[in-house]
């Protein structure tokens, strides 16, 4: 997609809204981009790569975007379940770039949502729901391959966009990939577990059994307690049904972990508030600090072209 695409997109009456998982991007850059130090010896390689990545997105013609970060890893979910993911084990060189990354994205002029009580995914889910039916919005693109966010997909109005693979996952795509529609993703993760987030799931249940039962019954609550009433064939049905009957209390907690919140108090109300209008006055100093002064000319050209 060339810079000229942006001029074409801006001529259209409806826009594509890009919602970026900044924490995912920072992790991706840390493990995929070269390390780099400031003259003071601070690691900024991931921050530098993130700035370049978002600038690339703007060069592709993106006009409206927001970026959510886990300001801290822990959230309200850690109060619900002790085994939920924490910041334990994150490399110091990566953790030290959390705050500078937020500051860098803000300097680029991109709206930033730093999450403390909630998670970045909750902010993205809230934003997707808030603006998916806005008459000015053609499509909401959640820039992440995270399966948690698959529950936000709606037809082709809200899609997952994997920037690394340049692939789009719409509602039929979610169903094909996970075996259940977006509406059942949270239940699917609660049953089968999600090791990345520390959700154990029910004993004996896995992706195949969870998708087969949820595809037939739609939700955990609708799966009959007696396996003899099931009209789908799954291996170990009696054992699975026993785990389901005995694990209802745990499942209630797991679903609170896997369901994304749509009530995060984001300050922006109108989608126009997410329009990129150029970098902030502090951008020059930050680019010099991080070691990417070349971005200044690129962003200045983009700003002129967006007027």
Domain ranges of the chain: 4-171+261-306, 182-258
Q: How is domain 182-258 classified at the CATH fold level?
A: DNA polymerase; domain 1 (1.10.150)
What H or E segment, with its residue span, contains residue 252? Answer: helix 248-258
* Lookup: tokens for 201: 């799931």
What CATH number matches the domain at 4-171+261-306, 3.40.50.1000, 3.40.50.1100, 3.40.50.1010, 3.40.309.10?
A: 3.40.50.1010
Q: CB atoms < 10 A from the CB of 200, how many?
A: 15
Q: What is the pLDDT along the chain (307 residues), one digit of tens a residue?
A: 344 444 434 445 789 999 999 999 999 999 999 999 998 899 999 999 999 999 999 999 999 999 999 999 999 999 999 999 999 999 999 999 999 999 999 999 999 999 999 999 999 999 999 999 999 999 999 999 999 999 999 999 999 999 999 999 999 999 999 999 999 999 999 999 999 999 999 999 999 999 999 999 999 999 999 999 999 999 999 999 999 999 999 999 999 999 999 999 999 999 999 999 999 999 999 999 999 999 999 999 998 776 4
- Coil, helix or strand for 69? strand
User: Between β-strands 167-169 and 158-162, what pairing exists: parallel, antiparallel or unpaired?
Assistant: antiparallel
């Amino acid at each position: 997609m060339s810079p000229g695409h942006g001029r074409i997109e801006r001529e259209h009456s409806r826009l594509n809204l890009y919602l970026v998982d900044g924490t995912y991007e920072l992790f991706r850059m840390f493990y995929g981009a070269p390390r780099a130090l400031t003259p003071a010896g601070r690691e900024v390689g991931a921050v530098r790569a993130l700035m370049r990545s978002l600038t690339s997105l703007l060069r592709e013609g993106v006009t409206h975007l927001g970026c959510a970060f886990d300001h801290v890893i822990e959230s309200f979910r850690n109060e619900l379940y002790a085994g939920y993911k924490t910041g334990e084990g994150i490399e110091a060189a990566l953790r030290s770039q959390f705050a500078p990354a937020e500051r860098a994205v803000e300097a680029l002029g991109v709206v930033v949502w730093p999450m403390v009580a909630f998670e970045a995914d909750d902010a993205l889910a809230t934003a997707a729901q808030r603006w998916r039916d806005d008459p000015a919005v053609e499509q909401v693109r959640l820039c992440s391959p995270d399966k948690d966010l698959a529950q936000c997909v709606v037809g082709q109005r809200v899609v997952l966009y994997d920037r690394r693979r340049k692939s789009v996952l719409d509602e039929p795509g979610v169903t094909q990939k996970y075996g259940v529609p977006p509406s059942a993703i949270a239940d699917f993760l609660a049953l089968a577990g999600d090791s990345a987030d520390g959700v154990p799931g029910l004993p004996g249940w896995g992706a195949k059994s969870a998708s087969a039962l949820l595809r037939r019954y739609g939700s955990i609550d609708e799966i009959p307690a007696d396996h003899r009433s099931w009209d789908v064939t799954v291996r170990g049905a009696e054992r699975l049904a026993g785990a389901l009957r005995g694990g209802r209390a745990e499942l209630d907690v797991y679903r609170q972990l896997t369901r994304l919140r749509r009530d995060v108090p984001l300050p922006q109300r109108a989608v126009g508030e997410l329009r990129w209008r150029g970098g902030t006055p502090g951008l020059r100093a930050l680019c010099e600090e991080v070691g990417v002064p070349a971005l200044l000319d690129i962003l200045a050209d983009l700003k002129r072209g967006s007027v």
